[in-house]
A and B are shown apart, each in its own frame.
Chain A
Amino acid sequence: MAERLEVLKTYKIYIGGQFPRTESGRYYVAKNKKGQALANVCLSSRKDVRDAVGSARNAVGGWSGRAAFNRSQILYRIAEMLEGRRAQFIDELVKQDSSPKDAENEINLSIDRLIYYAGWCDKYQQVFSAVNPVASSHFNFSVPEPTGVVAIVAPQNFSLLGLVSVIAPVIAGGNTCVVLASEEKPLCSVTFAEVINSSDIPGGVINILTGKPSELVKYFADHMDINTVVYCENDAATKKLIQEKASLNVKRVFFYDTINWKTDEGQSPYFIADTQEIKTTWHPIETVGSAKAGY
C-alpha cells in the first residue's frame, strides 16, 4: 500500500467570523531559525485591514452591549477551548523554535491569562469608576466605557502568549479588535482564530491578520475608524509614524514594548483601562426645601 500523504493545513486569516484568504492573493513562507519552511501564510494587504476594521466596527454595538458577566463567560470559554487544543499549540510552538518545556509553559500561561481577564470582565468597572465630589446639587460619577475598535500589532516573540495577552484585556473591556499577528511566528495565531471561532465570540469581535507590520502599520495608524492603536515592538521610526498618523482622529496610542509577557507584569487590569474612555455624568439631584441635597 502506498504511504499516506499528510494533509497540510492552509493558514488563512480571520475576518468577521470567517476564514478568508487575503484579498491580495499574496503569501509568504514562515520559517524557523534553521530556515525550514513551516507553512505558507497569508500576506495581508491594506484592503484586508479595511475589511477587518469594517467587521470590527459592526461588532462594537453588540459586544459592548453584552452584560459584563456574559463577556466573562465567553472569555472563560476561550480558555476551555484552548485547553482542549493544548497539544496542537505545543506542536506549533516547538516548530517555531520553542523548547518543549517553554512551549508547555507558554500554553499554560496563555490559558491562565484568559481566566485572569475573564475574572476581570465584571470587576474593572468598580475599580476604575468614581463618585466625584462636586459643589452643586449633582450626583457626579465617572465610569469606563469601551473606546471602540482597537488595532493591535502583536508581540513578535511570543506567538501565542503575546497574542492572548494583548487581545484579552481589549475584549474584556467590550472593545473589538483587529490584530496583526507575529510576522516571524504566525502559526499559533491562525490556530488561535480557530479556537475563538468555536468559543461563542461573535464574528467581528476579534479579527486576526497575518502579514508584515512594516507594510500595514501605516493603515492601522491612519484609518479614521480605528479608535486605539497598540504596538508591541520597539522600533523608533514605527512609533513615530504611529504617533503622527494617529493624530488624524486623535487615536489612543499605547506602546507595550518593554513588557515581559511571561511574568505577572504581562497581566493587569490597567491593560483593560488603557482601552477605556472615562465618561463623567452630572446627574441633577433634588433639593427639597432647606434640606440638604441627597441622592
Chain B
Amino acid sequence: MIAEKKMVAVPDFRYSPHIDHVGVEERASRFTKRSIKAETKVNGLKLTLNMIDLTTLEGKDTDGKVKQLCYKAQHLHDAHQGLPTVAAICVYPSMVSVAKKTLGDSGINVASVATAFPSGQASRDVKIRDVKYAVNNGADEIDMVISRGRFLQGDYNFVFDEIAAVKEACGTARLKVILETGELVTYDNVRKASDIAMYAGADFIKTSTGKVTPAATMPVTLVMLEAIRDFYYKTGKMIAMKPAGGISKSKLALHYLVMLQETLGEAWMNNHWFRFGASSLANDVLMQLEKERTGVYQSANYFSID
C-alpha cells in the first residue's frame, strides 16, 4: 500500500487551482436548463433512488427508528413494482450493529459517520477509535469529517495526515471525506480540501454533514466534481462523489445527475461512484415516480414516513 501511495506525487496544496467564482456558478446554473421528460425522467428518478444514502443522524435516534429506516430502505413503496432499493443507510456508529442486523443480506450497505461527527473537534486517538468501533460493528462505509479549524488555519499537513490515518483505520470499508463546504467559505478552499482528501486516500469526497447551512449546492458540487476529474486525469484513479444536505426535491436531484454526466461522464453514473446524502429526497422521488405511473399528482399522505 505504502509503495503504491508513493507513486502518486503529492502536490503542494497551496497551489491548488483557483476557482472562477462567477464562471462556476454560471456553469452550474446551465445544468438546470435541460429538459428531462417521460421515460428519461423515470430512468433518472430510479437511478436517483438507487443512489440515495438514506440518512438519520439525530441525537434522538433509537434502535426502533433505525430499524424502521432499514425497512423503508428495502420497501420504498411496495405498491410500485420494480423499484430499486437505496444504496445505503447512513447512521451514527452506535446504530451500526442494529442497521447491519436489520438489513442482513439485502445488498444495502451500512454507512456510518465517525471521527466526532459533525464537528470533528476531538483528538486523533478518539477519532480513530470511533472509526474502528463502526468498522468492527460491520460498517461498509465510513463518513469522516475533516478538521475545518485546522484547515482554515492553513495546517494542511495535519488535515492530510488525519485523513490518511482514518483511511488506514477503515481497512476495507470505503472512506467518504466530508469537507463541510459551508464552513470552508470559498470555492478555492473547497477545491483545496478536495485535493487534500483525494491525495490522502479518500474513496469519496462529500460536501456536507447536513448540520450546517449552506449544505450541498450545485456550484460547490461542480467544483468538487472538477477536482475529481483533474485527479483522474493526473493519477488514473476514480474518486466517488456525495453531495449531502439540502437536496430534497427530485427535480434538483435530476439537475445533479445532469451535472455528473456532463462533468465526469457515464462511468460515474451509478451508486458506486455517486451518492445523494438525503432523508426526505426518497419520498419526493417516489411521489414523482407514482405521478408518472398513475398520471395523477400525489399526496405525501400515501407514502411512508421514514
With both beta carbons as reference points, the residue of chain B lying nearest to A53 in the complex is identified as B297
Binds B, one of A26-34, A180-188, A216-224, A261-269: A216-224
B270 proximal to A (CB < 8 A) = no
Contact across chains for A219 and B299 when beta carbons are under 8 A apart = no
A53 vs B301: C-alpha distance when bound (angstroms): 14
B298 proximal to A (CB < 8 A) = yes
A223 vs B299: C-alpha distance when bound (angstroms): 8
Distance in Å: Cβ of B291 to nearest Cβ of chain A: 9
Distance in Å: Cβ of A78 to nearest Cβ of chain B: 29
* Interface size bracket, B side: under 10
A213 vs B60: C-alpha distance when bound (angstroms): 48
B2 proximal to A (CB < 8 A) = no
A122 proximal to B (CB < 8 A) = no
Contact across chains for A248 and B297 when beta carbons are under 8 A apart = no
B264-306 contacts to A, CB under 8 A, are 295-302
Residue in contact with B299 in the complex, picked from A49, A245, A249, CB distance below 8 Å: A249
What are the residues of chain A within 8 A of B302 when measuring CB–CB?
Answer: 224, 249
With both beta carbons as reference points, the residue of chain A lying nearest to B287 in the complex is identified as A224
What are the residues of chain A within 8 A of B298 when measuring CB–CB?
Answer: 224-225
Distance in Å: Cβ of A242 to nearest Cβ of chain B: 14
A50 proximal to B (CB < 8 A) = yes
State the majority secondary structure of interface residues on B: loop
What are the residues of chain B within 8 A of A248 when measuring CB–CB?
Answer: 296
With both beta carbons as reference points, the residue of chain B lying nearest to A49 in the complex is identified as B297
A67-106 contacts to B, CB under 8 A, are none
State the majority secondary structure of interface residues on A: helix
Distance in Å: Cβ of A101 to nearest Cβ of chain B: 44
A221-250 contacts to B, CB under 8 A, are 222-225, 245, 248-249
Interface string of A153-164 (1 = CB under 8 A from B): 000000000000
Distance in Å: Cβ of A220 to nearest Cβ of chain B: 10
Q: Which of A53, A245, A249 has the most CB of B within 10 A?
A: A249
A245 vs B298: C-alpha distance when bound (angstroms): 13
What are the residues of chain B within 8 A of A249 when measuring CB–CB?
Answer: 299, 302
What are the residues of chain B within 8 A of A219 when measuring CB–CB?
Answer: 297
A49 vs B297: C-alpha distance when bound (angstroms): 10
A248 vs B302: C-alpha distance when bound (angstroms): 12
A96 vs B302: C-alpha distance when bound (angstroms): 44
With both beta carbons as reference points, the residue of chain B lying nearest to A223 in the complex is identified as B297
What are the residues of chain A within 8 A of B297 when measuring CB–CB?
Answer: 49-50, 53, 219, 222-225
Q: Which of B297, B298, B300 has the most CB of A within 10 A?
A: B297
Distance in Å: Cβ of B167 to nearest Cβ of chain A: 44
A223 vs B296: C-alpha distance when bound (angstroms): 6
What are the residues of chain B within 8 A of A225 when measuring CB–CB?
Answer: 297-301
With both beta carbons as reference points, the residue of chain B lying nearest to A227 in the complex is identified as B299
What are the residues of chain A within 8 A of B300 when measuring CB–CB?
Answer: 225
What are the residues of chain B within 8 A of A50 when measuring CB–CB?
Answer: 297
A53 vs B300: C-alpha distance when bound (angstroms): 12
A230 vs B51: C-alpha distance when bound (angstroms): 42
What are the residues of chain A within 8 A of B295 when measuring CB–CB?
Answer: 222
A24 vs B298: C-alpha distance when bound (angstroms): 21
A225 vs B302: C-alpha distance when bound (angstroms): 9
A222 vs B297: C-alpha distance when bound (angstroms): 7
Distance in Å: Cβ of B303 to nearest Cβ of chain A: 10
What are the residues of chain B within 8 A of A53 when measuring CB–CB?
Answer: 297
With both beta carbons as reference points, the residue of chain B lying nearest to A149 in the complex is identified as B299
Q: Which of B295, B296, B298, B302 has the most CB of A within 10 A?
A: B296
A245 vs B294: C-alpha distance when bound (angstroms): 12
A53 vs B295: C-alpha distance when bound (angstroms): 16
Distance in Å: Cβ of B290 to nearest Cβ of chain A: 9
A249 vs B297: C-alpha distance when bound (angstroms): 11
Distance in Å: Cβ of A219 to nearest Cβ of chain B: 7
What are the residues of chain B within 8 A of A245 when measuring CB–CB?
Answer: 296
A19-75 contacts to B, CB under 8 A, are 49-50, 53, 57
What are the residues of chain A within 8 A of B296 when measuring CB–CB?
Answer: 222-224, 245, 248
A113-165 contacts to B, CB under 8 A, are none
A219 vs B298: C-alpha distance when bound (angstroms): 11
A249 vs B296: C-alpha distance when bound (angstroms): 11
A57 vs B299: C-alpha distance when bound (angstroms): 10
A57 vs B297: C-alpha distance when bound (angstroms): 13
With both beta carbons as reference points, the residue of chain A lying nearest to B300 in the complex is identified as A225
A224 vs B297: C-alpha distance when bound (angstroms): 6
What are the residues of chain B within 8 A of A49 when measuring CB–CB?
Answer: 297
Give the top 7 A-B pairs by smallest Cβ distance, nearest first.
A225-B299, A224-B299, A222-B296, A223-B297, A224-B298, A50-B297, A224-B296
Between A and B, 6 residue pairs with Cβ closer than 8 Å are A49-B297, A53-B297, A222-B297, A225-B300, A225-B301, A245-B296
Q: Give chain A's interface residues, CB within 8 Å of chain B.
A: 49-50, 53, 57, 219, 222-225, 245, 248-249
Given A223-B299, A224-B296, 13 extra CB contacts under 8 A: A53-B297, A219-B297, A222-B296, A222-B297, A223-B296, A224-B301, A225-B298, A225-B299, A225-B301, A245-B296, A248-B296, A249-B299, A249-B302
